[in-house]
Amino acid sequence: MMVENKSVMSKFSINRVIWYLTLSDIFTWGLYMVITTIVGIYLETKLGGRAVEYIGVGTAVYLLSKGVSQIPVGLITDRIKRDKDDILFLLLGNLLMGVPFFFYPLLASPYLYFFLQFIAGLGAAMNLVNWRKLFAKNLDKGREGYNYAVYDTILSIAGACFSIAAGFIASVSQIYFDLVIVSIGGLMLFSGIWVILIYFVENRKSNK
């Protein structure tokens, strides 16, 4: 009976690297999805009536920064064997995605906002390329669909919880709105802990 229970559990288990990558994404993209839903309202209080226009330009800056940076990042990390460079770039990407939100309460000019979007785009490029590489290389053979399904389910549930909490807190007052933005940046930085833990998984497939 004990053997049967272990066999059932093993079918639903996921290796540690996939768990760490999932947790990393919860505290980066899970939170980023939340911030994009409320940032328009927030920037209107900071940048005035032209906030929608500035957001359009800022989004373009972010997408161009991310798009142009991904190919060089991919070429660099592909040239280096094993995965230490992938982990390092992923860590840097997470940090660069989180840092800009610490400066949002200081926004008084759209140009600072555009610069912060450029930094976030660069971080997103580092994150996406290397997260995808590590995730793909560490998938459990024969259970790739299950691995992706568990990841996306957890990310969706976490994003829903973050959205409810952020919306409730931000609606209280402008001071709390600033706190929500900065807290999201801090949690994005915290995501780096899960990336660091990947390095200490000695039997990870991506390091072979």
Residue-wise pLDDT tens digits, 66-87: 999 999 999 999 988 889 999 9
In-domain check, residue 128 = yes
| Total count of domains within the chain | 1
In-domain check, residue 53 = yes
Query: Which domain, by its residues, includes 128?
Result: 15-203
Q: Average model confidence (pLDDT) for the chain?
A: 87
The pair of three-digit structure tokens given for residue 112, joined into one six-digit string: 């600072």
In-domain check, residue 208 = no
pTM score over 0.85: yes
d(CA 113, CA 75): 29
Interval 49-54 mean pLDDT = 85
Give the tens place of pLDDT for each residue, 153-192.
Answer: 999 999 888 888 877 776 666 677 888 889 889 999 999 9
In-domain check, residue 161 = yes
Looking up residue 110, the CATH number of its domain turns out to be 1.20.1250.20
Residue 5 has pLDDT above 70, yes or no: no
In-domain check, residue 48 = yes
In-domain check, residue 191 = yes
In-domain check, residue 68 = yes
In-domain check, residue 1 = no
